[in-house]
Structures are given as C-alpha cells and as structure tokens.
Structure 1
Amino acid sequence: MTTNLDIIRATYEGTSEENGKHLLAVLAPDATWTEAAGFPYAGTYVGAEQIVAGVLQRLGTEWEGYSAKAHTYLADGDRVAAFGVYSGTYRKTGKAMTATFAHLYHLQNGKIIRMEQYVDSHLVQQAMQP
C-alpha cells in the first residue's frame, strides 16, 4: 500500500522530470499551492494549470540548475512535511543561491489537496538582484 509519505517522497527523489510527472499525477483537480510571501512567485495557485504556469515553468526557465532537495520528511495522518534546500542560479543575474525550505502537504484519498511553502526568501531575492 502506498502511504501519503511515499506519495510525497516520489515528488522529490527522482530527476526533475520524474518529480514533475509524479507531482502532476497526485494533484487533486482543485489543489491549492501557496508560495510564501517574499518568494518571487508568492501567492496561491489553484489547479495543475495555474501551478505549472505560475511556479514550475518559471522555476525551470528563470533558473539554471534549480533544485529542491528534501532531506527530512515528517508524516502525521493526512499531512506530510518535507524539509530541504533549494539551490540554483538566477539566469538574469548569474547569481547562485541556496535557501532552506519546508513544504507542508495536505492529502486526501491519495491526492494533494493543499501545499504551503515556508522558505528563507531573502536568500532567493538576493540572487535575483543585479
């Protein structure tokens, strides 16, 4: 049986392409995805189309070598937290960054219905400044 923890791990532990495919496969149709205030893509996105266009495509095109590497997971019923480090180089400035993150997922019937991001956005913003 696949657990909620297994579902979330599968969105971090492969290649970027594999992680993206796994994520899209487990998003509920009306999933909400909240990027933290201060993060360049701050706001709440609803559904896969908004999440891909507003966050994932931008990360893939605006950053070189962008990655989110989780190192710790905590599961509590229908909630799973992933803790890790973002890294990448902002293409427009050529500046690299690493920033810690926490993602809190809420799942229902094997699907992600909500994700909230917590991040040291100051480090990300520094990389984006000329």
Structure 2
Amino acid sequence: MSNVELIKKFYHAFKNNDQETYLALCDENIEWQLADGMPNGGKFVGKDAVFNEYFPKMLSNFKEFHAIPENISNMKDHIMVTGKYHGISNTGKSFDVSFSHVYHIQDNKIVQFRQFTDTDRIQESLN
C-alpha cells in the first residue's frame, strides 16, 4: 500500500471507529505532537498514550469533533494532509478551523504525527 493509501485508510478507520484498523497502521512507539493550545494537547508517545489517554480526554470537550481531510500531498516518507476541523463543544458553540497534519511513515507504519491549527478558535468554543 502506498503512503497516501495508508493515510486515507487511517482517516477512514478513525472516522468509523475501526480501532483495530487504525491501530494496526501505527507504530507501537508513535509520537503524536499537538499544536500549542490544543485542548488536552501536548506530546504523546506510544499507541496507549495517544489513543487511550489523549483522544478520550480531548474528545470529552466536544459533542462533535470531525477532522475532514481535503488534500493529501505525498512527500516520500512524509504525507501532509490539509483540511478542516468541524465541531460543536459541550457549551454548544460550533467551529470550523483549517488544519495541516504531517505524518512520518516508516515500514508502512505511522511513526509520527504533527498538527498545525488555530487552537485559539477551538479554545473559544469551549467557553
């Protein structure tokens, strides 16, 4: 599978809560680095830290939270995805915010994720 196909499969599996598939696409020691100011953000290392610590805590702030990829660019062992976050916080405020995600892939596994987004707009929805 190409790196672009791997990332498309990752987004599809995550959207559909297909944990077995999206976990299989990630390295055991994946590094997940969030933009400064992302709710419950920071840097997380390992599948357990990313998917059992970060995501449940972050998503608990929202009634809905969607990452909608719009463009996927192949850069050899890196893939850049641009798109929009759409969500509704627990306070009932909605947001649409652009993002860039950069994935590093080795041996058909995601080894690193880096997020770039306007966290201020996401934080504003929490108040």
**TM surpasses 0.5:** yes
What is the CA deviation profile of residues 25-78 of structure 1, one whole-angstrom value per residue up to 9, with x for unaligned ones?
111011100011011132110111100133322344321121000000001111
33-42 vs 52-61, greater mean Cα deviation: 52-61
Q: Which residue of 2 aligns with 1:49?
A: 48
Question: Percent of pairs identical after alignment?
Answer: 24
Inter-CA distance 120–57: structure 2 relative to 1 (3 Å threshold)? same
| Partner SS for 2:37 | coil
Greater than 4 Å deviation, 4+ residue runs: none
CA distance in 1, matches of 2:41, 2:60: 17
TM-score (norm 1): 0.89
CA distance in 2, matches of 1:40, 1:119: 12
Residue 22 (structure 1) shift: 3.2
Q: Does the CA contact (< 8 Å) of 1:59 and 1:66 recur in 2?
A: no
Amino acid at match of 2:109: K
Amino acid at match of 2:17: E
CA distance in 2, matches of 1:3, 1:58: 32
Q: Which residue of 1 aligns with 2:109?
A: 111
List alignment gaps of at least 5 residues for structure 2: none
Amino acid at match of 2:106: Q
List alignment gaps of at least 5 residues for structure 1: none
CA distance in 1, matches of 2:97, 2:121: 6
36-45 vs 68-77, greater mean Cα deviation: 36-45
Q: Which residue of 2 aligns with 1:100?
A: 98
CA distance in 2, matches of 1:23, 1:121: 25
**Aligned pairs (5 A) from 1:78-89:** 78-89=77-88
Say what the alpha-carbon RMSD is for the aligned residues. 1.5
TM-score (norm 2): 0.91
Amino acid at match of 2:43: T
Q: How many residues align?
A: 126
Q: Does the CA contact (< 8 Å) of 2:93 and 2:126 recur in 1?
A: yes
